[in-house]
C-alpha cells in the first residue's frame, strides 16, 4: 500500500508543479504587471522601483520558486482591480461556491444513482423510457439555457423562487452560509438544480449501462441458479459492483462542478468564485485568474488522489496487483 500511496502522491505533486508554472506564466506573458498596477501616468523611475520591489528583475527560475512558495501559503498578491489581497477575496467567495457545489453534487449523485438503478433493472418499462427521454434535455441543452428557462418559469411567471443573488446569509467566523435562512435555501434551489442536471443525466446513463452489463455476467447467472432472491442479486451483488465506476465519476464531477460553476454563477449572479473569475477576466486581473487556476487544479488533484485511495480499499484487484508488485 505504501508504494501505491507514494506513487499517487508524487503524481499529484508533479501535476501541481505544472499547473503552478502555467499560472506563473500568466504574470510574465499576459501584459506587464507593473503597468496593470500603476497605469500609464507613472514615471519610468517609479516603474523600475516597483519592479525591483516585486522581484520582477530576478531570474525566471527565482521568480518561479518564489511564486510556488507563496502559493503554497495561499498568497497570490493584490488584486489589480480591487486592491485587496487575493486570499481575502477567495475566502469571501469560497463558501458560496462550495455550498452550491455541495448541494448540486448531492442532487446529481443520489438522483442519478436512483434513476440509473431503476432504469437499468426495469429496462422496458414506460417510466424508464420516460426518464431516459427527459434526461436527454440535461445533456443536449447548454447550462445557461436551462438556467434562463428556470428563471423565466419559476421567477418571472410563477414568482416562487428568486432569480439572482444568494439570499440572506449568516456569518459563522470566516464562513458565510445560506443553509440557516429560508431566503438562502430558496436562492439555492435554482442554481443548484441547474448545475447538477448535466452530471445527473451522465450518472443516470452510466449506472444504467453498468447495471445492464453486470446483470448479464456469469456470477449473476450462477447466483440465480443457486436460488438467491432477485432482490438480493440486484440490490446487493449487482449494485455493489455497479457503483465502483460511480466513485470515480462522482469525484471528477465535484471538481467539474467547481470549475464549470462559472456559467451558473454568472446566470444567477451567484457571488461565488466563478463570478469573481469572470470579473477578473473582464479587467485582466491576473492575480485572481492565477489563484483561481491553482485552486481548481488543487481541487481536481486532491479529489483524484482521494478516489485513487478509495479504489485501493474498494477494488480487491488493485490490492492484489499492489501486493504482487511490492512482493
List the chain domain ranges.
2-72, 93-282
Which DSSP category does 103 fall into?
A: H
Note the pLDDT tens digit of each residue in 125-138.
788 888 888 888 77
User: Any residues with CB less than 8 A from the CB of 191 and at least 6 apart, and which?
Assistant: 100, 147, 264, 265, 267, 268, 270
**Class for the domain spanning 93-282:** mainly alpha
User: Any residues with CB less than 8 A from the CB of 2 and at least 6 apart, and which?
Assistant: 326
The H or E element spanning position 36 is helix 33-38
Query: What is the band of 151 on the pLDDT scale with cuts at 50, 70, 90?
Result: very high
**Is 32 within 8 Å of 282 (Cβ atoms)?**
no
Does the pLDDT of residue 110 top 50, yes or no? yes
Residue in this structure with the C-alpha cell 441458479, named with its chain if needed = 225
**Is 82 within 8 Å of 89 (Cβ atoms)?**
yes
- The distance between the two most distant Cα atoms of the chain, rounded to a whole number of Å, is 87
Note the pLDDT tens digit of each residue in 71-89.
888 788 778 777 788 888 8
**Cell (9 digits) for 284:** 485582466
**Is 261 within 8 Å of 101 (Cβ atoms)?**
yes
Note the pLDDT tens digit of each residue in 173-214.
878 888 888 988 999 999 999 988 888 888 888 888 888 888
Residues 154 and 144: their CA atoms lie apart, in Å, by 15
Amino acid at each position: 500500500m505504501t508504494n501505491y500511496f507514494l506513487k499517487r502522491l508524487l503524481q499529484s505533486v508533479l501535476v501541481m508543479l505544472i499547473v503552478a508554472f502555467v499560472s506563473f506564466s500568466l504574470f510574465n506573458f499576459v501584459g506587464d504587471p507593473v503597468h496593470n498596477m500603476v497605469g500609464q501616468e507613472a514615471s519610468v523611475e517609479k516603474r523600475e522601483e516597483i519592479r525591483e520591489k516585486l522581484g520582477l528583475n530576478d531570474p525566471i527560475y527565482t521568480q518561479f520558486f518564489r511564486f510556488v512558495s507563496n502559493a503554497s501559503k495561499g498568497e497570490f498578491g493584490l488584486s489589480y482591480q480591487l486592491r485587496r489581497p487575493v486570499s481575502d477575496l477567495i475566502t469571501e467567495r469560497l463558501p458560496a461556491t462550495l455550498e452550491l457545489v455541495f448541494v448540486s453534487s448531492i442532487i446529481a449523485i443520489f438522483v442519478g444513482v436512483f434513476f440509473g438503478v431503476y432504469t437499468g433493472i426495469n429496462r422496458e418499462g414506460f417510466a424508464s423510457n420516460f426518464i431516459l427521454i427527459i434526461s436527454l434535455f440535461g445533456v443536449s441543452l447548454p447550462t445557461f439555457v436551462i438556467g434562463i428557462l428556470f428563471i423565466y418559469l419559476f421567477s418571472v411567471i410563477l414568482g416562487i423562487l428568486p432569480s439572482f443573488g444568494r439570499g440572506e446569509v449568516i456569518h459563522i467566523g470566516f464562513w458565510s452560509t445560506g443553509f440557516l435562512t429560508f431566503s438562502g435555501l430558496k436562492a439555492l434551489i435554482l442554481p443548484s438544480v441547474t448545475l447538477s442536471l448535466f452530471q445527473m443525466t451522465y450518472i443516470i446513463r452510466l449506472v444504467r449501462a453498468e447495471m445492464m452489463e453486470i446483470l448479464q455476467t456469469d456470477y449473476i447467472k450462477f447466483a440465480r441458479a443457486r436460488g438467491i432472491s432477485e432482490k438480493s442479486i440486484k440490490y446487493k451483488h449487482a449494485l455493489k459492483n455497479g457503483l465502483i465506476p460511480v466513485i470515480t465519476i462522482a469525484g471528477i464531477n465535484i471538481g467539474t462542478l467547481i470549475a464549470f460553476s462559472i456559467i451558473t454563477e454568472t446566470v444567477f449572479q451567484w457571488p461565488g468564485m466563478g463570478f469573481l473569475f469572470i470579473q477578473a477576466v473582464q479587467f485582466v486581473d491576473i492575480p485572481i485568474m492565477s489563484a483561481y487556476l491553482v485552486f481548481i487544479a488543487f481541487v481536481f488533484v486532491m479529489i483524484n488522489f482521494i478516489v485513487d485511495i478509495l479504489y485501493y480499499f474498494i477494488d480487491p484487484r488493485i490490492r492484489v496487483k499492489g501486493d504482487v508488485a511490492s512482493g
